[in-house]
A and B are shown apart, each in its own frame.
Chain A
Amino acid sequence: MTARTTSEEAVPSEGGTISRGGTSRRAALGRSPVTVTFALLIGLTVAALLRSGSTAITGQALLTGLIAGGVYSLLAMGLSLIFGVLDIVNFAHGAFLGVGLFVTYEVAHQTGLNPYIALPVAIVGLFVLGALIQLLLLNRTIGGSLERQLLITLGLSLLISNVLLLAFGGDPLSANLTSDPGVHVFGAVANLSRVIAFGAALVLAVLLYVLLERTSFGRAIRAVAASRQGAGLVGIDVRLVYVVTFGLGTACAGAAGMLIAPFTTITPTAGDQFNILAFVVVVMGGLGNVTGALVSGLIVGLVEQLGGVAIAGQSPLLGVFILFLLILLIRPQGIFGAKAP
């Protein structure tokens, strides 16, 4: 019984879930998934310590993983929101992140100022882009087959990266800070830009959570997620909710793109590498579960780095995909997901 209470404390309130028929979520959330995940993380840390024989390396992996995880979280929250509300598997999410990178590059180079002034531009710009895509393209396919929307987003991702290639060329660009010193945390070190990205990603994630949970429009979004027809019957403009939700989701990708721009090589295909990882995070956190995406983003970041140290000589993603497969086998609804109705 005590174990159950602690595991539930680790999970934010159930309201964060955007999924159908999740009424008995409390019952579905047994002690196993969350505790097992944390036990696994501790196990990986110990394995990394034994393997490397150095607290410095393990501490570095923990810090790097946590910080990388913050950006994964923000990115995946947008993806999860879109899936939860619109039922769209958005393959263009990485491309939207790429647009965020180039917006940052353009703003920083046109104004010659600090790249962080591009953050509001990237958020608003990507919100508008996403809203327009939903309004003009995807709203026409509501009620159609899942493949149609999936193919549209896949096509969009190709279109976006090739338009970027046409406009900016394939050569790498950068939007560096003038000074990017290391920040020391318990003997480990991270660039200032990465620490800022982590902090800002978490702040934006909390803002998104507040928007969904504490505002009437957020309630409307959750209502549409729970039942499109029901929400329509009580007078919610479902199409508007769809437009705003897709915009919010792409704004998350745009913000993530801006935040990683100072330490990333900017190319038209730079966003693609995040696509698969974002889907892994979303599925781990429970499809459509925004808070689940937040927590599992951090977990994926940590597993990637610790796994890279513990299973040296392999791709660091090996650990992530092992965990992913385990979750798919044991708990297909995700760590924080509700049982399917």
Chain B
Amino acid sequence: MRARNFVSVIAAVGAGVALVSGCGQGGASGSSGDSKVIKIGTLHPMTGSNAGDGAQLQHGAELAVKKINDAGGIKALGGAKLELDAGDTKGTPDTGQSEAQRLVSDGAVALVGSYQSAVSANIAAVAERNKVPFVMDISGDDAILSHGYRYSFRLQPQNSRFGATAAQYIKDITKSKGRPVTKIAYLHEATAFGTGVYTAFKSEAQKLGLAMGPEITYDAASVSDLTTQIAKVKASGANILVVSGYYRDGVLAAKAVQTVKPKLDAVIGAADGAFDQPQFPTDAGSAANGYFDVNYHLNDKSAEAKAFADLYQAAYHDKARASAGFAYDSVRIIAAALERAGSKDPGKIRDAIAKTDLNPLSLSNGPVTFDEKGENTAGLPVLTQIQDGAPSVVYPDNLAAKTIVYPAPVQ
């Protein structure tokens, strides 16, 4: 009896799926008849533990579509309007993969996503198989583009660049401020992200002659207290603490540092998800003061980035994060490629994206250009510091909005 029930449930679910996918294909053929609309698929975590960041990215993409459509759409295609087809990855690789497949079947000519490397890795495989271009706004893991994919591109600097740049910046600053590194303790979350940044940091630090202290890892999904880990930092006698983690654990780390009070000259994030966020000083309180982060950042000096931030604030009543700027730029890159290709053929769009030359909203070494692997060669990690309750760029000097404060001991 029970077995039969089970079978009938499976059958019902199967029928439901068939129905839904059938509808999807029907919709695709319907919309391809309407030549005035071009669909771009977005894949972000709209629910689940990363829903806050997913919303930021989605909003960034929406603003870009609105701007392009208000300016007359894609002129090379008779003023065709862009339309976002939004997928929800739920933050899991398998959902991201099935959603990517659904959007492609739905007639999306390009994909944008996805915030998490593990999810993007699966989407990139779907994009390659279906020959549809995929522009990654946020996803750091180097390995995603190590398979020789032709259809995937990445806007954000990859993890290894954050690690190496962080080591370089630390060397520069500690030297110029006359308080050199005695030892660097490194705290990172234990998955590919934290480990990848750490590995790149360590190899660069050894080249630069910086002394590495203990490597301390933790599980970002389950951690609820980092006091013991920070006690290890204190016992090691290091004067610099480098952290690579996500938002929630970054706040925990800052609070633990304030409680344990290790004798540090600076706490520096390497691609840390907390230390450069506008709400970090609110959540961590006075513990946040003086914290550094080596990360991507909006170009606060560019008029276009300012306009974007204002538009975002007006539309969503929230501060735009740098990541939203990357989603915005990803859609602009696809739109520019549509203009140049003059076609909705995904293969031609791909070739046009490969020749991208576009000024981004984020701080950058000039316009975005992709190398043959699909990496953005112009992406530039910068050093930010929390001063007066907000993150500001403090290094490299030519991009700095505020003067660096180092040493920045724990208060």
A residues near B (Cβ < 8 Å) are 52, 54, 56-57, 60-61, 64, 67-68, 162, 165, 169-174, 176, 180, 182, 188-191, 194, 260, 263-265, 267-270, 272-273, 277, 305, 308-309, 312-317
Contacts and interface: CB of A to CB of B under 8 A. Distances in A.
A174 B282 contact: yes
Interface stretch (B34-42, B47-55, B176-184, B303-311): B47-55
A309 B225 CA distance: 13
Nearest to B219: A315
A188 B231 contact: yes
- Name the prevailing secondary structure of the B interface residues: helix
B196 to A, nearest CB: 16
Given A52-B232, A190-B227, A269-B49, A172 B247 contact: yes
Given A56-B234, A57-B231, A189-B260, A267 B225 contact: no
Nearest to A174: B283
Contacts of B154: none
A171 B222 contact: no
Interface in B180-239: 190, 215-219, 221-225, 227-229, 231-232, 234-235
A64 B228 contact: yes
A265 B49 CA distance: 11
Contacts of B247: 172, 265
A305 B222 contact: no
A171 B259 contact: no
A193 B403 CA distance: 35
B60 to A, nearest CB: 15
24 contacts: A52-B232, A56-B231, A60-B260, A61-B228, A64-B225, A68-B225, A165-B47, A170-B54, A172-B247, A172-B279, A182-B261, A188-B231, A191-B259, A263-B225, A264-B224, A265-B251, A267-B248, A272-B49, A273-B222, A277-B222, A309-B228, A314-B217, A316-B218, A316-B223
Contacts of A61: 228, 231
B150 interface: no
Given A171-B279, A172-B52, A182 B224 contact: no
A192 B258 CA distance: 12
Contact of A172 (B54, B229, B248, B285): B248
Nearest to B316: A169
A125 B285 CA distance: 29
Contact of B221 (A68, A171, A174, A273): A273
B255 interface: yes
Contacts of A190: 227, 259
A189 B216 CA distance: 19
Contact of B219 (A169, A171, A316): A316
Interface residues of B, number: 41
Contact of A273 (B54, B224, B283): B224
A265 B283 contact: yes
A170 B222 CA distance: 18
A316 B216 CA distance: 11
Nearest to A315: B219
Contacts of B248: 172, 265, 267, 270
Contacts of B259: 182, 189-191
Given A182-B261, A191-B255, A315 B228 contact: no
Contacts of B285: 176, 180
Contacts of B223: 316
A314 B223 CA distance: 12
B228 A305 contact: yes
B283 A176 contact: yes
Contact of A170 (B52, B279, B282): B52
Interface string B355-381: 000000000000000000000000000
B217 to A, nearest CB: 6
B176 to A, nearest CB: 33
A267 B249 CA distance: 13
A316 B8 CA distance: 42
Given A57-B235, A180-B255, A189-B227, 12 more contacts: A52-B235, A57-B228, A162-B47, A165-B51, A189-B260, A191-B227, A194-B225, A265-B247, A313-B217, A314-B190, A316-B222, A317-B222
Contacts of B49: 267, 269, 272
A60 B234 CA distance: 11
Central interface residue in B248, B255, B259, by most chain A CB within 10 Å: B259
Contacts of A260: 224
Nearest to B191: A315
Nearest to B54: A170
Central interface residue in A56, A172, A182, A305, by most chain B CB within 10 Å: A172
Contacts of B47: 162, 165, 170
